[in-house]
Amino acid sequence: MGVQLVERYDRIANSAEFQRLRRSKLLFIWPIVLLFLIYYLTLPILAGYARPLMNSFVVGHVTFGYLYGMLYYLVAWGLAFLYVGKARQFDEQAKILMDKYGRKGA
């Protein structure tokens, strides 16, 4: 049984369809991760080196720094919803692969 699972895994992992799925996941995930890291790390950098900008009022008594910090939540939730939608597509493609190669070592 174990040998059959390894052989099935190798067939799936070496297939062109799986490689396309893997590549599309990487091309989707890494830009989002980099975007969030840049956004996340910009706040402490701006707080340290751009104090006049961070202390400037944008709306009423709300400063740019406070607004930027509060937008973390919206950005995180937005990226999470974006990922959930895209993950459904990845799951559908993975299901097609499993159906094609069989769940029981076809």
Domain ranges in the chain are 1-104
Q: Residue holding tokens 């091309």?
A: 27
DSSP three-state, residue 15: coil
Percent of the chain with pLDDT over 90: 76
Q: In terms of C-beta density within 10 A (0-12 exposed, 13-18 middle, 19 or more buried), how is residue 23 classed?
A: exposed
Q: Residue holding tokens 């991760």?
A: 33
pTM: 0.74
Q: Give the tens place of pLDDT for each residue, 43-52.
A: 999 999 999 9
4, amino acid identity: Q
